[in-house]
Every structure is written in C-alpha cells, then in structure tokens.
Chains A and B, each alone.
Chain A
C-alpha cells in the first residue's frame, strides 16, 4: 500500500513541477547498446499444467508495434522447453492460451503437485538455460472482508492462519466475473511473508482489483492520464457492489518471493527521477557469458469466491 501511495505522491510532485513549468521537451538520448537476452515468464500452479512464455529483451527506445512484439516472442520453432518433476520430463507444447499473447509453451503430461520441485530446461539458440522452483503446501483462506472505500467501491481484506515455525511466503491473485484470468491486484503488492507474524492470523490488508499491467502503461503527463490515474482511481482500484470476486492465495518459495519483491521495487522506481532504480531479480540460470531475465515460479494455490453485497448488507464477512 505504502509503495502505491508513495509512487502517487512522487508523481504528484512531478505534476506540480509540471504545473509551474512548461519547459518540458522531448530529447534524444544516446544510450549504450544492451545485448538482447532470453526472457522467461514461467509458472506452475498446483493442479494445473506448467506454462512458459519466452521472448527476447530489446533496446529501451525500441518502438513495440505488433510486428516488433511478434519478433520478440520465441515460439517452438526457435526453442524447446522441458519441465521435469524429478521422474517425468514433459516437453511443453506451443498452444493457445486465453491471455495475451495468446500462445505459449504448455505442459500436457503432468499437473503441479504440492511439496514438489519442478526443474525447467530451455534449449534456445544452441544454448541451455535452466531453473528450478518449488510448490509449497497450500494454505486455506479463512475469511474475506470487504472494506468499503465509498458506498459502492470496496477492496477486500483476506485472512488466513499461518503455520508456525516455518517461513511462509504468499502471493495473491484476483479476478472478477468479467475477467478470464487471475491477475495481480493493481497498484498494490501481491506478496507477503510471515517474518513478522509467524504462526499468527495473517491478514492481507487490501486486495485491489486485478488488472493486466500493460493495459495501464500511461503517460501521466497528459490530461487523459490524470483522469485515469486519479479521478477514476476508485474505479480502477476497487471492486464494485455486485461483483463476484475470485481470490487465489498461493504459497511460494523464498526465491520467488524475493523476485516479486524486487519487481515491486523496480515498478515503483521505474522512470522516477527521484530514486535509484531497482533491478528485478531472476532465477533463470544462463550459460557462461550469457544473460537471462525473468522467472520460473511454483504456486501452491487455494481459491475462494465471494459476491460483493452492498455496504449495508448484513453479511459483509464471508467465512469459509
């Protein structure tokens, strides 16, 4: 939460500087050439097949039109993706998927199981990239409490019991009835650890509406963007009365947690001249002399759905 507010406040400082000054001009920046590298976006959910998207990184000022985006994606003619659960190896098939970019590598031989390790091997451009992840034991959501921001907008507070004497890391994904996929809640962290609350009742303070991030890559300097960022903030962040909200609480391992933590630091500091930008961690091992970005993450998922009644309803707390 605080990151979101901080980002907004920093943007407010920028905006106010803009308000008092019109001396902004486009410039051409001569940046050093960065080598293009393999980018892995892979996950294996409990009770679901492994999914891997592959692409290449590109120069910062590269314009990404449809052709350029297609060129960056790596399909099964260029790469082979193999996932192993220790006994079975599954060479993933390049198949359609409901979310953008609508095709990716998917497993067909086995689904993710709890307390299992999954190894990833990618053969690309004559080189082998590897990674490994773990699906921890799943944890059940106990309650879901709507927190009304206005009479019609609410976020969700979810609670669960953290197992004692072990380090646990959690992630939250969410969707409403209009969304096909689970998304990270917009603008807020979707991860939490039990380091300060081991064995206690955990509460994920606020779950905002899920949003595909690249739907909101905005130029915050224009009027339209002001409106979408601020005026409609409640609409963007909150669920509406009448929504069916599906929540996905997943356990993740420490490595995955640290990757997402760095992700948030990067997101908050990105493009912000007032901070030193953070680098997103990766758990993809590249061959000697090569680089790789991205991650391979196992999720121990537990799902719950609730209907958002009006503020005055007598059943605001949903217990399971």
Chain B
C-alpha cells in the first residue's frame, strides 16, 4: 500500500460527484476514504463530495454498498475536481472488499439510522409481489407496522403523524395506497432511502419522531431503458434515458392496480363486486439537467390517486372515497467552490381526501365518477379534507475539512389546511357547511438550522446542531367558542386575511456523540428535541385516510418531543456481521386525541380542534439488531421491547393508559438465500404484541333501550399479530440488454387470522328475552400467493 507523502502546510481539496458508471445515477452516501488512514467523507444527497487534505500523494478509496471499490492514486498539488464512476458489483453476496462502507455503522457519529439498499428491499417477499420500501423499513427494530390495513407506521412510540416522509424533499402526508397495503413509493423509481429514528440532524424538522428520506432515481444518463413488472393485482412500467447524453436525463414510472377491472366481467350485474371497487394509480416523473460542473437542475413530480367505491342497489347506497397526494419539486444545485455546496428547492405538495355517501338512490353501474350521481339522492353526505403546501428551501453544505462538515439553511412553508368540510343533504335541505364556506386554516412555518459534524480525533466524533422553528397561523379564520361541555357554540371570533391567530416558536437542539472502542465497536449517544406544528387527529382505533391533518391554532399547541438514545455498535468477523443494541427514552407533549364520542363531521359550522383533548405521552424501549451482510445467506433479526403510555386529564381521570400502538414485543426476522446464480429464496417472519382497543364491559337498560358501559381507554389488548412470508425469485437467462425474472411469493403462509379490529354487537331484543351480545374479530388478509414477472431492457 502506498503511504501518503505529506507536504505540510498547504492543503488542497478534491471534490466532485460519485456516480454509477452504467447509468450516471448519483451514488448518495458513497464513501471516500484515504487509504491507510481514518480520514474520509461521504457523498451528500446529490452525490457531491469534497475532501480537503494536505498536499501529497494518496490512494483514495471510493466505496459504496453493492459496488466494487475504486482506488484512485492522486498526487495532490492543487485543488482537483474528480467525478468518479463506480461499477456495481455483480451481486452483494460476492464478498468483495468493501472497506469503508462496512464500518460506517460503527464509525459515523449518527446513530438510530436505517439505510437499506434497494437490492435488499427487492429480494424480500412482498405483499402481492409489489416491492415496497415502506414495508421493508417496518422490519427494522424500533419501526413498527400498524398491522394489515393500517396506513401508518410507528417509530419508537411516536404516532404515524410524527414521521417526516420526504420524497425528493417533498413532504408526503399519506404514504400509502389501499389503506396501507401498498406504499406510494414505486420501488422502480426509488434510488435511495434513509431513516432517522433518533438523533435527527438539524436540517430536518417539523416532526418529532423520525425522518424517512427517499430519493428518486434521476434517470439513466447513458442509454434508454424500459423496465416493468406484471403482477396479479398491479403492473408497473418505467422508462428512463438521456435527453442529452451525460447532460440531461429523465425517468417516468407508473403503476396501476386492476383487480376491479379483472373481477367485473366475472360477476353478476347485481353483485356488490360489480358496483363496488377499488383501484389506485401513481406516476413518478423526474428530469435533471447538468448545466455544467457547478450547476444542476432537477424537476421531479409525483401524483397518486386512490379510489374506493361501494354501491348497492338493494341497499340504495352509493359511496365514493377518493384520496391522493401530488407534488412537484424544482431543485437547483450550485457548487460555489470545492468546499461549498448549495441546494435551492421550490416544492408544491398537496394531499386531499374526499368522501361522498348517498342513500335511497339508484346506483348507475356505468357511472365512473361521483359527480354524475351527485345530486340524485334522497340523502347525501359529502366530506372533504386536505393540505396544500408551498415550500421554499435553501440549504448549504460547507465541507470545511475532512474532519468537519457544516450544514446550514432556511426553510419556509406556506400551509393551507382543510381540516374537514362536510355537507349533508336531505331531500332539498342542506345541513352543515357547503364547500365554498369551509373553515380552512392558513399558516406560515419557518425553520432555520445549523449543524456541524466534527471529528475530534480517531476515537471521538461529535455532531452539534440547532434548529429554530417558527409557526404562525393567520386569518381568514373563524373560531367558534364552545360552552363548558363542548356542545354548543356560544360565540365566534372572526380573523381577517393575514391577521395572526396563533404564534409559536421553539429552539430545537440536536446532538450526537460517538466513542470508538475498537476499530469494530463503538458507543454512541444522542439527544434531540423537536417541535411539530401539525397533528394527525385519528378518530379510529385503526389508521385510515379519514384521519384528519390539523394545524396548530389558538387551541392546539405544537407537539414537542425529546428523545435520549444510547447505543452499542459492533461489527464481527471481518465486518460480515453487524449488531447493535440501542435504548431510548422519549417524551411527547401536547398530544391530541378526539374526545370520547367525537365523530368525523362534528366540525360542521365548527372547528375540528374543538373536539380534541390534550395530553402527553412517553415511550421507552430497547432495540436489538443483528445482521449478516454478505454471503449466500443474508438477513437480519430485529427485536424491540417497548412501552408507550399516554396521560390525558380528560381520559380515565388522568391515569396513564396505553397508546393504541403500545407494543411490548416486536420481532422481525428476514432471510435471503441465493440457491443458485439465478435462484434466490427469501423469508420474512414478524411477531408483534396485539394493538390495544376499548371494549364495553357492562350494559344496562334504560328508556326501552340498551346502553353499554365502556372500560378504560385501550384497556383491551387484541391477540398478537404474526405472519410468515416466503418468496422465490428466478432470473431467466439474461441476453444482452434483456433481463427478466419471475417472483413467486406467498403472504401469510400459515394463514394466520391476524386481527384488524374487534367489534361487538347485539342481536335480538330485551323485550322478547332474545338479547345477546357477540364479539367478532375481523381479519382481512388470509394466505395470499402472488406471481410477478419483472423485465428490463
């Protein structure tokens, strides 16, 4: 190995981009190390890196998971721009020497971080064969799935609204399709993902539990490619290629489910399946243009739409429930000099959720949309809610030296919330608000941050950051003042346009610290305090799109979270295995819940937040993670023990009660085995303590009726959730420029009836002495085999 020859005094900087040789895609997080030293850096979210060293000759090693190391010999006598193109190693299972990359989990100051290569995501069994980033990340310790049919995920006892989900920097408010069975992230369009469960760097804010940052592919800079998959319920199609070779590229990726269309011809005209249906589609698109070495533009967009329709002639019922996200992001990268990188983003994002239910109407079987039937009914109820954001961000990265990276910037968001607008019509009478008179909420949110990742010496690394956040709700807005029992409006306060309604701000310190014990082991600690100015009000025991996003107001205070975490990290057997143990303690303030008995639609001529009660919560737990990274057999075991309680003055006399996602045990095991060069088998097993719910414990008769008495909040725990999934992928013989594979998967192999919810109901009546109560459990996903054919050329 060539040792560096130092020329003391003068320092020079090597900077540039790290890219995939075949496609020109940026390699986010690729490592750059000086051979024989512990000095190094990694590429930022745009593939840019910068390393400042004393003049001399060096061997610089570029490494990235799934790629062969690239070593470049450099005689550093002046600043250098060096864009490196790395070749992907055929398969990860080949035990190539991945030097720096393998130690990143031990050596970086960042803890509580999850990075999963897309290759890993793609090898694991997928629900209905649809590879899903969000589902895979829920197999990591500390990240809990909410269960079948639930859209959200829970990180370290935090609610699903407390996760900042970013797709190309745009906030995604509802990351799921089909009530959580699919995520909005099309795996073919995703390049990279990382999640922070704790120790969140200062550039992220606005959520108190976690950040999931997903980057879309830029599109192949070299040549055109088409890839896709045809599955039993959905298909995908992606096209990408250069607009100008090595200068500009694009990618367009689309998906649609078609189970509704497939079933319809085989059902009777009167069947519910004929008049009901569900589908979603989504489209990801992105273009980028390298103007020159120092300037680059990106334009990315996403649009996704879910529609659930339920109609029955017999019941005289027609229900439509469409919802979806969309965003457009325009970003501009500028390299001021080889140490100073800037990104400017302008983002528009939108989320909406509508429902309409009509009674005593004839369902028009040919009508595809709500509008055609809108006014034909005796009763109709319509509901709209949503969020519309404009976001402007300016982020700077100052790569001050090999031991010191400073990030700072400012972010501004204009929010428009439609918390819930509901109109009911009966015959010719309209009850409630019409949509033109809705009670929107407008707000400005600003975040200013600075953070410094500083390597004190070979053993100690420190990250210090601070974020200042500001939030102001402005008019127009009407506050409805309620009586003591929150039942009747006794007064109104009207705010004019731009008149401040509520103002909040906070200082949010962030810190992480690492001590290396040996080359292969370290101890890390972190602290973060975050403020969050929006809440997801969940009326139900399950997470559904009917959950309502509401902003802070004069009534609703910002959520505040503090988290302390401590971890031990160890690599074993020449980095073939990695393991970690992390403990955390987290406090949550200004949490919201709906009052007992609150209903969607209570906010007709009212504020949604008049139906909230406020409290706090805490969560603590320990997470174990053990992973075999390389070899024919790979996989991991993640186990979390945790406890999450909430305390609300208005619930159970202020006694702590378990959060609905309080989960004592959560276990995930994944295994992938490469049987032959073409045949790969994989398995996933999950076990989780059952969710909590509230059930009646007693009953009484009054006014000729039966009234139920409920037990304390969330006092009943549903049976445990567990499931085994298997999959086999067979690569068909690869011709030049043509790859294809079959994936066969089985979800819930032993057909375990996992509880979606438990409900109770009565039959008969008291008068006849036939009154009975029954408890039922609804499980929604039985054993489900799926086959998908994937292709690429």
Give me the interface of A with B, judged by CB distance under 8 Å. Answer: 1-3, 5-6, 8-9, 12-21, 23-29, 31-34, 36-37, 39-41, 53, 55-69, 72, 99-101, 147-150, 183-184, 193, 195-196, 205-206, 212-221, 226-227, 229-231, 233-234, 258, 261-263, 265-266, 268-280, 293-295
Contacts and interface: CB of A to CB of B under 8 A. Distances in A.
A195 B702 CA distance: 28
Contacts of B768: 66
Interface in B251-278: 272-273, 276
A20 B528 CA distance: 44
A31 B695 contact: yes
Given A19-B310, A60-B695, A266-B707, 20 more contacts: A12-B315, A12-B319, A18-B778, A24-B779, A25-B777, A27-B777, A34-B711, A36-B698, A61-B773, A62-B773, A65-B771, A147-B429, A217-B763, A233-B359, A261-B485, A276-B593, A276-B598, A277-B710, A280-B707, A293-B707
Interface string B516-545: 000000000000000000000001111010
A147 B700 contact: no
Main secondary structure of the interface of A (DSSP, over half): mixed
Contacts of B9: none
B81 interface: no
Contact of A293 (B381, B546, B601, B700): B700
A183 to B, nearest CB: 8
Contacts of B697: 31-34, 59-60
5 contacts: A2-B601, A16-B276, A195-B488, A213-B703, A266-B707
A240 to B, nearest CB: 16
Given A23-B780, A39-B701, A275 B758 contact: no
Q: Which 3 A-B pairs have the closest CB atoms?
A: A278-B597, A265-B597, A66-B769
B381 A6 contact: yes
B705 A214 contact: yes
A33 B697 CA distance: 7
Contacts of A276: 539, 541, 593-598, 694, 713
A214 B705 CA distance: 5
A221 B760 CA distance: 12
B488 to A, nearest CB: 4
B487 A258 contact: yes
A100 B771 CA distance: 14
A57 B700 contact: yes
A273 B424 contact: no
B596 to A, nearest CB: 5
Contacts of B539: 274-276
Given A64-B771, A217-B765, A39 B708 contact: no
Contacts of A19: 272-273, 276, 310
Contacts of A148: 427
Interface in B612-635: none
A215 B765 contact: yes
Contacts of B540: 273-275
A64 B769 CA distance: 6
Nearest to B759: A273
Contacts of B782: 23
B600 interface: yes
B766 A69 contact: yes
A100 B770 contact: no
A31 to B, nearest CB: 5
A271 B598 contact: no
A101 to B, nearest CB: 8
B487 to A, nearest CB: 6
A1 B424 contact: yes
Given A62-B699, A274-B544, A29 B758 contact: yes
B706 A217 contact: yes
Interface in B271-288: 272-273, 276
Contacts of B594: 275-276
Contact of B314 (A9, A231, A269): A231
B114 to A, nearest CB: 31
B117 interface: no
Interface string B454-477: 000000000000000000000000
B769 to A, nearest CB: 3
B217 to A, nearest CB: 34
A277 B708 contact: yes
B761 interface: yes
A118 B762 CA distance: 35
A256 to B, nearest CB: 12
A26 B381 CA distance: 32
B36 interface: no
B82 interface: no
Contact of B765 (A32, A59, A214, A227): A214
Contacts of A270: 696, 708
Interface in B729-746: none
A110 B779 CA distance: 58
B792 interface: no
A266 B772 contact: no
B753 A25 contact: yes
Contact of B319 (A9, A20, A24, A69): A9
Given A27-B777, A214-B706, A265-B597, A230 B700 contact: no
Given A266-B707, A273-B693, A293-B702, A2 B381 contact: yes
Contacts of B707: 263, 266, 280, 293
Given A21-B778, A32-B711, A57-B698, A233 B360 contact: yes
B654 interface: no
B379 A5 contact: yes
Q: For B594, B709, B763, which residue has the most chain A Cβ atoms within 10 angstroms?
A: B709
Given A31-B716, A195-B488, A214-B704, A59 B698 contact: yes
B150 to A, nearest CB: 12
A21 B756 CA distance: 11
Nearest to B310: A16
B426 interface: yes
B227 to A, nearest CB: 31
Nearest to B149: A17
B316 A206 contact: no
B720 interface: no
Contacts of B771: 63-65, 69, 214, 217
B498 interface: no
A277 B310 contact: no
Nearest to A232: B316
B601 A218 contact: no
Q: For B357, B360, B546, B707, which residue has the most chain A Cβ atoms within 10 angstroms?
A: B707
Q: For A21, A184, A227, which residue has the most chain B Cβ atoms within 10 angstroms?
A: A21
Contacts of A16: 272, 276, 308, 310, 319
Contacts of A18: 778
Interface in B283-299: none
A153 B331 CA distance: 61
B704 A5 contact: no
Contacts of B310: 12-13, 15-16, 19
B715 interface: yes
B488 A193 contact: yes
B704 to A, nearest CB: 5
B497 interface: no
Contacts of B763: 217-219
Contacts of A56: 700
B501 to A, nearest CB: 23
A293 B319 contact: no
Given A9-B355, A205-B431, A213-B703, A279 B765 contact: no
B665 to A, nearest CB: 20
Given A6-B600, A9-B355, A274-B544, A217 B272 contact: no
